[in-house]
Structure 1
Amino acid sequence: MARNEVVVRGRDGSEAPVRRGNTAMDYIRPWLAAPGLIPAGYFTHWMWGDAGMYTGLAAAAVAAAGGVVTYATHRLTGARTWYAHHIATAMTGGAGAWLSMATVFGPGRPLMDALLIGGAAAAAISNVHLWARGQGTAETAPKKGRVLPTFEEIAAKIKLRDVRARLISDTEMQQRHELTLDNGETAESIQNRAKELASAYGVAPGAIRVIEDQGRADKAELVITKQDVMGKLIPWPGLEATHVGASIVDHPLHLGTYEDGEPFFNQITNRHSLTVGMAGAGKSVYGKVKMVQVAARRDTFTLAIDLAKGRQTLGPIEGAIGWPAYTKPNARKQLAAVKRAIKARANHLADRGHSQWVPESGLTFLHILVEEAAEVVDFEEIVEIARVARSTGIHLDLSLQRATWGNLDTDTRANLGDGICFGVRDFADASFVLPDYVTEAGCDPSRWRKSKPGAAYAAIEHVDPDRHVVAVKVFGPPTTDPKDENRDLTVAANGLPDQDAKLDAVTRQAFGTEYAEFLASRSRATARAATAAPVMTPAVTVPAVDDVDDEELIVDEDIEPVVLKTPDDDPEIVGDIDTEIPPLDPEDDFALPTRKKGTKASAEEARAAIDALLEDWGNGHQFKAGDFRSGLAEMGVERGRSWFYGQLSELEDAGRIQHDDENGLWSVRDAHALVAA
């Protein structure tokens, strides 16, 4: 209960706090404390001042009693305001010390002067404190910043009993309390009232978090977020000079800032990661910032797979990727090579007596990013890699929009140590990534969805579990303009040394012909780009034919004319531009040209192929988008990704298929209907 409140008990036994104004006695009382010590000093000096050796014993006893009272004051006012806790403790301790010295030396000068001056200062501070409280609490006083009510006021307002709070931190961004739960109260019961607390404090619903103490059931921590920093852009500051060229174990990756202002670091060695977030939530930018920082270390090699967007996402930072794969065949080759490398690296570590990867093992640390992991065809290979790769110095980072049971099985989930969840569509999506103690504390990324790109919760092994419930704002692009997203990342990636030069011999040999073929194709592409000189065509104004005068045409005889030559399909036919073309004989055979994609005929064939595929599957058949595309490809229908997804959308609108948001699969509802033209 606040100092200037009284409790009114109703007939039904309920209690309600009623605020009253400060009276004159409230201001006078602090001025009486110091004068009250003067007769006490005369009394103790009269009793023991001339008692010889007993004088020292009496002074020590008085000091000990004062220490006990001071400690009790400190403990009893721990849940009060800053003034009640610190000032009251200091005044009690000072009074005990003064009385002990007055017992020996008497209350005269200079002890009398010190008492009067110190007592007057303490009384003045108390009067100022009372006056400030009389102006109103945080609910009624003008807010010049985020000033929150005391926990006692909040507890009285929502009738929260059997809970004591001690303020342990109060910053511009957050306020933290240590809660002591009495009479069988549990942290779970306080968590269930988080929205009531948020309303009483006047903050957002997600700004209240109650964290259960893992060591004691009668302890918890209350965190109140004053400012919402999740909606602010924190641009990536670039590579830190001390991290470039260092070992991956020397410094953790600096990836963002916690909402309380602390930096967000992650050490990725000896575990895997699962990163989840809906489109537009900032997941891709986070993956690129992480990739560039890993590639900057001297003992790392980076790989990446992105079948969903190809080079659109990772292309701008290819300077930081040692081996990218953007197609299903290339992804299969890369995964097969990684599986061979795991066995070879494990044998290498065993030969040198290492149970885990260490920088001294002679092996390069591998970072494998799989963007939109649900699109990977051979997903069982991802499961196998996740299960056995961790101890061999391989960090697997799976990134996808949803981590439901349909696209990420239990085996893979069990081998992913770190879970980072950006904004998601609903709370169930977050529960697949974050531990129960995080979501139960009130952490809900579905509140953001994609409205706050870069906002996330990070349940990572590198930090204490208490930090898992603190929201993180990961580094983003320099501006909110989409065209600037890769500006700094591209410059940083292109400034890194060649990743291939860092790859160790054991892993290179295990990668085999697949990696050698990739290097060869990349070398050919680089050579073509270097030798291809841009053709600069000067702008020429061509006059209309009717306005051309033969005398105005100037021909430079020193310029060799450009002659375009094409293969002659029938060299026996001789003629020039003036030769008359004979009429076609009706009896001659006439062959129509082969249909090209995009014509009306090819569209009709594609629709027929869709009908045939659905009829072959039958009603109730479930399939992925990739199955739909591969099935049509077997029938000779080759189109771009957007066309296939457009057909799925049209089929759904027509009621022929239905999408299940839980498992991400499509199901056939009407296999025999005709596709709309």
Structure 2
Amino acid sequence: MSRKNWARRGLTSVTGVTEADRSRAATYLPPWAVGLGLYPVSLLSHWMASDPAALPWVSAGMTLAGGALTGVTWLAASARAQVTRLHSTFTTGLASFWFTAATIADPTEPVLWGSWALAAPAVALSWNIRHLLRNSGNDNGAGGGLFEKVKLAGVQAKQIDVAPGRVTAQLQLPAGEMTVADVQGATGQMASAMRLPASSVRIAPNPDDASQATMTIVPVDLLRHPRPYPGPSAPGGSITEPLVVGTYEDGRPQRIYLPGCKATHRNATHYIVQGASGSGKSHGAKLAWTEILTRRDVNLVVLDPSKGEQTVKFLDTHTPIVLGKNRCADVMTRVTGLITDRATKLGRWGLDEWTEEAFTRHGMPYLVIWVEESPKVLEDAKTLTTIAQEARSAGISLVLSLQKASFRQMNTDIRSQLGGVWCFGVNQLEDATFTLSDELIEAGANPAQWKNRKPGANYLEAPGFDEELFTIPARTFAAANPELVQVLEATAHLRAPLHPDVAKHLGLSITSAHGTAATSQGGNPMELSDTFTPHIDPLDGELSDEEENTPLTGPANHEPDLETVDLDAELPEAEEAEFGRPRPTREEVRKFMADRITQLLNEGQTRITTRDFHDPERYLGRTRGWVSGELARLAAQGQLRDVGEDNRATVYEIPAREADAA
């Protein structure tokens, strides 16, 4: 063997790259060469067309040339597969359009430079991916395709569709030899083979055929930067139209529906909004609130028991705001009465659910109750469960926002009634499993990939949507508070005033958190019925220095016929009255729970749940949620062991050493 061949063989053994590998890699270079070379050529073309007198002729000529080239591509590819023909024509048309614009304007302009930097790699990668998939699992590329590389020989890409920003392939699995789960488990290897981020490959099963699946590949992360806020999607429209809060990674708008629609068989929906601190869920809420408040037939009530005005301040006088844990809890206890009142009226009008007719003919707007940091008001699980079960038919959507929807934070009965999930970044994938469906997780949805590093990135899963969108991540618009305030002020005349029944039942005044009266459509302060009295909790908040130092003045004597009593005289001794026993202290409750656990051990029971503490509100003066949290505390201290769930209740086991000691 010659020295040259020995050298070549030695180089191959060291690098692992053969001549066949180099030849195969060379087939992937042309799209990149064309895409990268387009920019310097456009600089030269712009310089040559810089003469103002020649610019009109250059513009017309290049436009005609680009159109002709695109048409020739369509005709020349007629013998190819339809998808190849469309892909070729789309690529040629896009390149011609950009090149013409860059020649006429200036390639260094941010819009033109940015679009080239984004589109050129995406288009080049789409051709590479099609080439790789075309040689996977068939006779044309045996041994060199994508699926052979990831040990999935036998999988075939039957149809490949190319759209802006993504490539979709319909996969045929060898029937009886492989499952969709096998392919889903190799998405990381596929992304590695294509030199793409791990999250860029997703596999979704075909609901009608277990031997088929859809693979979606996103070559370029279009969610890296949020898109600018475009303004309200339907100012003056109905709440039955969707709220547009962001865009999916393929450019489609992200929509949220609240009321039901009989024509499309979509039910009214409650939502749970989940996301770690800093994941952007509060910003998403602001966009949704702004969308709601630009509609003509809806009321919005926002409750925040924890953060004060930090999140809701920008709403100002535009909608009722309830702050403080006590006030929020009080308002939620009043919702059941409102539900009964609205449901009765809808039934009287011949409506089995809220429709636009309820507003246009009877003046009843839809109602959205949005609760931020909802665990602070979820302690009354019984009331919240009733609201979640009955509110939708009365034209009310309940939105509960929290960081982690674990069983300790939210009652499972409540969670089962919340049909929609808006999940932002979470710290661990296990956190998302509390809300997102198992099918969505198996299809590749992973909000833990973002945590709080990509604020606004989210998944949306709700009834009535195209299920294809469930697995596609989205990101909310970028909008500053002044932009949203400007929209709210510009559309103030469009929104419905707070309905008197809502104000009456929930104990809301027509004022903001700052005490300024909100205005109706006519611009005058809203007036309530004479029977309404705003609810104020005197214990929720603090007295000012002036109030604290001002002595209270008793009322005037409005009944002079009554005998005057000396207020300074000593009261006579009264007979002892029989009062109910006071609420036990926390230490007393914990001792009772310890005695109860010992009793169960003596009876031979080594596993316990909250159900073993019967009627805790009566005997312990605590809610079942508090008892659940106390058992979790004991587990964290090692006195109990969490062993899973049984009928939606966490089961705890008493360690052997504790049992022996007892």
Scaled to the shorter chain, the TM-score interval is 0.5 to 0.7
Q: 1:162 aligns with which of 139, 147, 154?
A: 154
| Displacement after TM superposition at 1:161 (Å) | 1.9
1:187 to 180, 186, 191: 180
Identify the residue that residue 482 of structure 2 maps to in structure 1: 487
Aligned position for 2:111: none
The aligned residue for residue 437 of structure 2 is 435
SS of 2:158's equivalent in the other structure is: strand
- Work out the CA distance in 1 between the residues paired with 2:85 and 2:510: 69
Shift of 1:360: 0.5
Alignment RMSD: 4.5
- Deviation readout 1:556-613 (Å, 9 max, x if unpaired): xxxxxxxxxxx999xxxxxxxxxxxxxxxxxxxxxxxxxxxxxxxxxxxxxxxxxx96
Could you say which residue in structure 2 is the equivalent of 1:106? none
Counterpart residue number, 2:232: 239
In structure 2, the partner of 1:364 is 365
In 1, are the aligned partners of 2:317 and 2:511 still within 8 Å (CA)? Answer: no
Partner of residue 213, structure 2: 220
Q: How big is the shift at 1:659? A: 14
Q: 2 CA distance for matches of 1:523 and 1:499?
A: 22
Partner SS, residue 356 of structure 1: coil
Say yes or no: does 1:263 pair with 2:263. Answer: no
Cα distance in 2 for partners of 1:319, 1:658 equals 50
Alignment of 1:66-85 (within 5 A): 82=84
Return the alpha-carbon distance in structure 1 between the equivalents of residues 448 and 397 of structure 2: 27
* Shift, 1:428, TM fit: 0.9
Q: 2:307 aligns with which of 303, 309, 312?
A: 309
* Contact 1:165 1:177 (8 Å CA) reproduced: yes
Say whether the 8 Å CA contact 2:201–2:218 is kept in structure 1.
yes
CA-CA distance at 1:441 after TM superposition: 0.9
Out of 213, 226, 239, the residue aligned to residue 248 of structure 1 is: 239
How far residue 85 of structure 1 moved from its aligned partner, in angstroms, is 11
Structure number with greater Rg is 1
Structure 2 residue matching 1:345: 3-state secondary structure: helix
Secondary structure in 2 matching 1:332: helix
What CA deviation, in whole Å up to 9, does each residue of 1:68-126 have, x standing for no partner?
xxxxx98xx78xx8379999xxxxxxxxxxxxxxxxxxxxxxxxxxxxxxxxxxxxxxx
Residues of 1 paired with 2:242 and 2:419: CA distance?
A: 16
1:273 counterpart residue number: 271
Distance change (3 Å), C-alpha of 1:234 and 1:620: farther
Does structure 1 retain, via aligned residues, the 8 Å contact 2:273–2:402? yes
The 2-side partners of 1:284 and 1:215 are apart by 38
For 1:445 and 1:568, the matched residues in 2 are separated by 54
Separation of aligned partners in 2, 1:229 and 1:85: 20
Q: Give the unaligned 5+ runs of structure 2.
A: 1-17, 25-78, 90-120, 137-144, 260-267, 519-548, 552-584, 598-632, 653-662
Q: Is the 8 A contact 2:299 2:496 kept in 1?
A: no
Q: How many positions carry a matched residue from both structures?
A: 431
Match of residue 418, structure 1, among 393, 405, 420: 420
Distance change >3 Å, CA 520–CA 165, structure 1 → 2: closer
2:19 & 2:383 partners in 1: Cα distance?
64
Q: Any idea what the Cα deviations from partners look like across 1:283-313, whole Å, max 9, x if unmatched? A: 0010111011111111100011111102111
Question: Is this contact kept in 1: 2:424–2:459, CA < 8 A?
Answer: yes
* Residues 21/310 of structure 1: CA separation in 2 closer, same or farther (3 Å cut): closer
Instruction: Call closer, same or farther: CA 1:656–1:615 in 2, change over 3 Å.
Output: farther
1:514/1:467 CA distance change after superposition, 3 Å:
closer
Q: Which residue of 2 aligns with 1:324?
A: 321
Q: Is the 8 A contact 2:338 2:505 kept in 1?
A: no
Q: Is the 8 A contact 1:302 1:499 kept in 2?
A: no
- How far is 1:471 from its partner? 0.5
2:401 corresponds to which letter in structure 1?
A: S
Equivalent residue letter for 2:485 = T
Structure 1 pair 173–143 and aligned structure 2 pair: CA distance change class (3 A): closer
Q: Which amino acid aligns with 1:351?
A: R
Q: Judging changes above 3 Å, is the alpha-carbon distance between structure 1 residues 310 and 656 closer, same or farther for their aligned structure 2 residues?
A: farther
**1:157/1:247 CA distance change after superposition, 3 Å:** same
Give 3-state SS (helix, strand or coil) of 2:312's partner.
helix
Q: Distance in 2 between matches of 1:568 and 1:213?
A: 73
Identity among equivalent positions (%) equals 28
Given that residues 340 and 510 in structure 1 are in contact (C-alpha distance below 8 angstroms), is that contact kept between their aligned partners in structure 2? no
Q: Which residue of 1 aligns with 2:398?
A: 396
Q: Which residue of 2 aligns with 1:546?
A: none
Q: CA deviation at 1:487?
A: 2.1
Q: How does 1:469-508 map to 2 (within 5 A)?
A: 469-478=471-480, 486-497=481-492, 502-504=497-499, 508=500
1:453 matched residue in structure 2: 455
Residues 167-176 or 440-449, more deviating: 167-176
* Residue matched to 2:288: 290
Q: Which amino acid aligns with 2:156?
A: R
Q: Distance in 2 between matches of 1:144 and 1:521?
A: 51
Residue among 339, 343, 353 paired with 2:340: 343
User: In 1, distance between residues paired with 2:19 and 2:175?
Assistant: 22
Q: How big is each residue's C-alpha offset from its partner over 1:480-527, in whole Å with a ceiling of 9 and x where there is no partner?
A: xxxxxx2212222344427995344xxx236427535x2378796559
Partners of 1:359 and 1:513 in 2: how far apart?
Answer: 22
Cα shift at 1:329: 3.0
Contact in 1 for aligned 2:203/2:443 (Cα 8 Å): yes
**Mapped partners of 1:657, 1:313: distance in 2:** 39
* TM-score between the two structures when normalised by the length of structure 2: 0.57
Q: Compare 518-527 and 221-230 and name the one that shifted more.
A: 518-527
Q: Residue 194 of structure 2 is aligned with which of 180, 201, 213?
A: 201
Mapped to 1, the partners of 2:468 and 2:195 lie a distance apart of 24
> What secondary structure is seen at the aligned counterpart in 1 of 2:316?
helix
Q: CA deviation at 1:163?
A: 1.4
